[in-house]
Amino acid sequence: MLIVMKSAASGEEIQAVIERVQSAGARSHLVRGEEVAVIGAIGDREHVARLGLEGSPGVDSVVPILKPYKLASSEVRQGERSVLEIGGRRVGGEHFALVAGPCTVESRDQTLATARIVKDAGAMFLRGGAYKPRTSPYAFQGLGEAGLRILAEAKAETGMPIVTELMDVRDLEPVLAVADVIQIGARNMQNYTLLTEVGRAGCPVMIKRGLSSTLEELLMAAEYVLKEGNENVLLCERGIRTFETAYRFTLDLTAVPVLKQLSHLPVIVDPSHAAGRRDLVEPLSLAPAAAGADGIIVEVHPAPDEAICDGPQALHCDDFARFAAKLDQVAAIAGKRIGAAA
């Protein structure tokens, strides 16, 4: 249920509603919009309905949230979009996030060289996996904690916040020490214990859409994190499995405007994993930027031919500045700029 307060509602009236919601065993979630405060009451529907909050002091209306996801739904924000503040950067609204870096941290030199180049070209976050979800158990699985130390060094030198994947809750502590955004990979999108733990950790989270997941399933995954009181959630479209085999996955461009209708959360697009091919990365970045995506996460490597992982889809470092400048121009069409002033 959504309890919409009157614009003149006092702090005490808002607090009284929150207490009544909580005393019914439901969770309350206060959203202070520019005009009015809205309290989301999440829990047993009958309990909340029986509270009879209509007509209580300061209460304007009580409306059900019809979607199965509640805190992720656009209804809970009454149409206002979330703008997240992460490591001194803003994501959402007019702030287009450019996240770039290698698929995986291979070495100090490779990671630092990439970090310097993408930073100079305007990237706001550095990506890089220390724990890699590989299809084959015989493939390189990531440098683990040694990789995290390299990411920490890249962050210390460049000042760029880090986006890195967490696959196993047992690695939460070392990942938290370095990550500004924890990435939940496509294969773990429905790992509900992992989602709950990163929700509790409070660190910003980017959830990648599962290979064969619907948008509703993605939003339910986000709900697991939000339900723990962690509001810093980014959604990521990274391509889904279809009958088409000419490229790695099918980028679901329609997901961009539809997710933005269904949810207030920022929507990031990963063209690299969708395409699997370098030549497709640019068009698959420009199209979502024009369609209103809130950012792009892209793989970049100083020597893609020698990359341990995902080399064929990595942009060359040498080409990155040109790519970033073009992306910025297209994002501007949708009213956003890369990193637009905070």
248 near ligand PEP, rule: CB under 6 A = no
150 near Mn ion, rule: CB under 5 A = no
Instruction: Tell whether the torsion through CA atoms of 169, 298, 124 and 318 is positive or negative.
Output: positive
**193 CB neighbour count, 10 Å cutoff:** 9
142 near ligand PEP, rule: CB under 6 A = no
Minimal distance, residue 99 CB to ligand PEP, in Å? 10
Are 140 and 132 contacting, i.e. CB atoms less than 8 angstroms apart? yes
**How does DSSP classify residue 250?**
B
Residue 110 C-alpha from the chain's centroid:
25
Instruction: Tell whether the torsion through CA atoms of 314, 317, 318 and 322 is positive or negative.
Output: positive
106 near Mn ion, rule: CB under 5 A = no
Residues between 187 and 216 with contacts to ligand PEP, criterion CB under 6 A: 187, 208
Tell me which of ligand PEP, Mn ion, none is bound by residue 185, counting a contact when its beta carbon lies within the kind-specific cut-off of 5 to 8 angstroms.
ligand PEP
Q: What angle do the packed helices 215-227 and 192-201 form, to 10 degrees? A: 40
310 near Mn ion, rule: CB under 5 A = yes
Contact residues for 136 (Cβ-Cβ < 8 A; gap 6+): none
> Which runs of E-coded beta strand occur in 228-266?
233-237
103 near ligand PEP, rule: CB under 6 A = yes
Query: Which residue, 252 or 310, has its beta carbon nearer to Mn ion?
Result: 310
315 near ligand PEP, rule: CB under 6 A = no
Instruction: Tell whether the torsion through CA atoms of 216, 220, 222 and 227 is positive or negative.
Output: positive
Tell me which of ligand PEP, Mn ion, none is bound by residue 278, counting a contact when its beta carbon lies within the kind-specific cut-off of 5 to 8 angstroms.
none
The mark string for 261-290 relative to ligand PEP (x by CB under 6 A, - otherwise) is ---------x--x-----------------
**2 by DSSP, 3-state: which?**
strand
Query: Which residue, 41 or 218, has its beta carbon nearer to ligand PEP?
Result: 218
Minimal distance, residue 71 CB to ligand PEP, in Å? 23
133 near ligand PEP, rule: CB under 6 A = yes
| Single-letter amino acid, residue 30 | L
The three-state (H, E, C) secondary structure of 82-112, written as one string: CCEEECCEEEECCEEEEEEECCECCCHHHHH
Minimal distance, residue 279 CB to ligand PEP, in Å? 19
129 near ligand PEP, rule: CB under 6 A = yes
301 near ligand PEP, rule: CB under 6 A = no
- The residues that touch Mn ion, with contacts defined as CB under 5 A, are 103, 310
- The residues that touch ligand PEP, with contacts defined as CB under 6 A, are 103, 129, 133, 185-187, 208, 238, 270, 273
